[in-house]
Structure 1
Amino acid sequence: MTMEKNLWEQVQLVRQKSPLVHNITNYVVMNNTANALLAAGASPIMAHAHSEIKDMINIAHSVVINIGTLDEYWAESMLLAAETADTLHKPWVLDPVGAGATSFRDQILHQLLQFHPTVIRGNASEIIALAKTNTTVTKGVDSTAASNYAVEAAQILVNQYNTIVCISGETDIILSRDQSIQIKNGHALMTKVTGLGCSATALIGAFIGVAEDKASGTAAAMSLLGIAGELAVRESKGPGSLQVNLIDKLYNITEEEFTNHLEIEIS
């Protein structure tokens, strides 16, 4: 089976199985990520109360933890959710928004990592900061080396926590213990819509909820969002219409559109 066919079958699998994705995410993106999940065929739920988290995760296919608008109550919710997902062997995704910005944020991230996230998705600076929080990496890197340095940092996280790391950027890089995947889909205008990185994390949650191969599921999710973004830009006048058109394209994308536009390399 070709890679294009394999990833498209995973897009179809999410539509067929409609995995329930439990999100503990930030205020800014709740609506965006819920709509992205629905458009892709998944079923989102946003629940944060300590008293119901265990019950929710028990019925969910996967869990998404995004620390964007962190506070003390939600931090406890996140830690409880991560611990429960780990105990129940439910796949979960960590989005380390703003890693390195404050000691509180880094402390919570360090604790969350102890519960073995299935996937970590962040931009280059977040992945670098996350690795620095938990181990020692080379210092003195300049901004032009950020992409390569993020790969080094990601590999540290992969090895230390037996996780999959997805570095978002102009080229999305997905690293696991046995392979590296590069996806070159997307468009610069997508960076002008708040929360699309968070939507990527949520979609990864949906895909790993049904995929046997979690790295491949992560690649399918990132490919879907990137291609949908590329196609939606063609019909958009700016970031406002892009946000709407992107949700539509996640919903009605065809196999031909997906396979013809996919740009992926595996090593």
Structure 2
Amino acid sequence: MKVLVSTDIEGIAGVFHPEQTRPGNAEYEAARRCMTHEANAAVEGAFDGGASQVWVNDSHGGFRNLLPDAFDARAHLVLGKPRTLGMMAGLEASPERVFMIGYHACAQSRGILAHTINSFAFARVALDGEEVGEAALYGRLAEERGARVALLTGDDVFGAQTLPLFPGARFVCVKTAHGYSSGITETPAAACDAIRRAAKEVVQSASSERWAPRPRDACGSLRCELRVQTSALADLFCQWPTLERIDAVTLASDAPGIEHVVRTLNCLSAMSFMLR
């Protein structure tokens, strides 16, 4: 069995403040080590459960946070950007299972460091009227590529939002949110132990599970509605020829499938740096 581990940083145990997620300071260096250790715990657990190959996608910021020399030697690391599938790069290798490690709740919810893709630019993303976060977007992309989302880790708000989207997935709660930048956390060691056990059990049980992947673009055209943080961002994004402006800060477009949505959002996120 092949496994893809997509790893973000905001949902890692002990991470509560934006400073911990931004390169160039000691707090970030400590947080990226914790991110690496939780990702590697998922790798070790997957191999202990019988996985044949494991890819690890660095899915935060510039996609070069993970420390390669701290990983199990059997893992393959997906680092750097740009990349077509963003946080799900590695799907090209056709994994059967996907783990989302260190993920977070969607923008303007009460989760720790909650946002969707780009906190500077995006206030809300909705598909066909339903608000979605990164896990919903990328999990749907994984399913349409034939992989099952099998393991999720992060805070309790993320778990409550995301578990209903992926029936049968396992959730490991590594911290409890009291607000955007406060809460209660497991220790890094305890979080890694729990993730390692869960990953092993998920892979061990996979052979007996019956699951039919979602056909690619099964739902046909999708309506994506994007609320941005300022009207200046809407001015900028409306240079994109397929976007329709609904009001001062709301844009919409129709897309042929989820990959189109993800790639468009990532391009808009990159464009937003013009206004920083």
TM-score (norm 1): 0.34
Structure exhibiting the larger radius of gyration computed from Cα positions? 2
Q: By percentage of residues, which structure has more helix?
A: 1
TM-score (norm 2): 0.33
